A and B are shown apart, each in its own frame.
Chain A
Amino acid sequence: MNHLLRRHAPITDSGWRLIDDEAVARCTPALAARRVVDFSGPHGWEHSATNLGRTTALASAPSEGVSALQRRVLPLVELRADFSVSVGELRDHDRGALDPDLADLDAAAYRIAVAENAAVVHGWSDAAIAGIAEASPHEGPALADTVDAYPSPVAGAVELLLRQGIAGPYGLLLGREEYTRVIESAEHGGYPLLDHLHKILGGPIVWAPGVNGGVVLSLRGGDFLFEAGQDLAVGYERHDSDAVHLYLQESFSFVIATREAAVSLRPPARVTQRSRTPRSRQGDRRA
């Protein structure tokens, strides 16, 4: 048994299959960042830090006649979202019920996916993670208030990346509101906006809950690295006569190798601004 302590839960094999399948089904659509960045791992729960290949000079050494450097690493962070499953629902599932209530699990899956997306795109200063949007040195255009005008800032971002020598294809992460406006729209009532944007980018347009506005970034690879320690897993906390208390958990770091490989698209002015986190230093290999 490992750190997830699943063997202590009063859950049958069939119940675990139900919970794991539901967690995968609910997490996967919302894990937007993983659709556009490089993924390394999983390296296991014991994996604690990402090598940055950098050093810091130490002011002193243990004795005279030697110099000293200290390696810099980016520690992995742990994200956890708690949820509960009714004991009665699990027993009904074992009897063959087809509609178990897993709403609390569904909400936890969404919460942890949103947190992962936000950390990768907007950064997480307390964890020394630099986000793609905040780290970009480009002054990105704002998304227009009218959806007909969306292709212009996206095309501008692609041209900006080309000018920097950043090859495509390119992907576009869009926040919930912006994504909805794109998929419900056709330009001048004709050509679907989604198809037009896809032709500009050459890559996917991704629904990204937790993202404010949008980000155009290169998918050529090697620019953005998500490193997983323990990939998303369901663990056991405790149980009582009514419910089994479980959690979704992952450990990861995120490192930007080429901050120029993305352009942030600010949300339209009428969309409420999300507080922007300060840029981090340690999470960027070129910082």
Chain B
Amino acid sequence: MNAPRLYFRYLGVSLRSQMQYRASFVMLTVGVFLAHLTEFVAIWALFDRFESLRGWRLPEIALFYGMVHVSLALAEGVGRGFDVFGRMVKSGEFDRLLLRPRSTALQVGAHELQLVRIGPLMQGLLVLLWSTTALGVDWTLARVGLTVLAVLGGACLFAGLFVIQATLSFWTTESMELFNIVTYGGRDVAQYPLTIYRSWLRRFFTFVVPLACVSYFPALAILDRDDPALGSPIWFRWSAPLVGVLFLAVSLQVWRFGVRHYRSTGS
């Protein structure tokens, strides 16, 4: 069985086990969906009062919001196993994975697909779709393609962050709460255009964690806006999402390095 097929087999098992409790699943998903939607309602409330944010309007913010939320939801859905990896190291469960003649990254990633993640995914998609109709942008094929690419690049970036977070637990055997700053904090930062933040935060999310490459820069190209604050070239705005893919590739190398240095807790 080749790797993709194996991956989907894992996911299938995970899905079937969760669908055993269908009523609970539906309630939870609806709850999660609404809980996430409140965040956008909060942004709407602020725009109702203040009308604009440094020249940005609600549909534009909705584009930022929708893209980053869909990206994170996809990454969480696909790579959730990395998010809870600290537990696997602590319990020694990871040893069993090492014995199997398959890629460890694949096994961990497919470990536990959370179907509940449909909630945030739908929520993000809903906001994104609303923004595409409210924006009044001419949706050429290139623009649609760039939006999809940015969302996928963002998913790769977040997946890469989860992988790095998991790799750290080889050394700490703890899950790192501080790491939430770059994953969930990053999501909250990227809900707004980068220019509203101070320069240290802007630099951090451009050069250290290149979230701006999958959110701010492609969004500028989609919205056909200038970039007086940062002065990015146009070709870069169109190709920036690829940085997310690159980030994931590097993260997987870091993961491999971590696995080689893994020592079982022995419990």
Chains A and B belong together in one complex: no
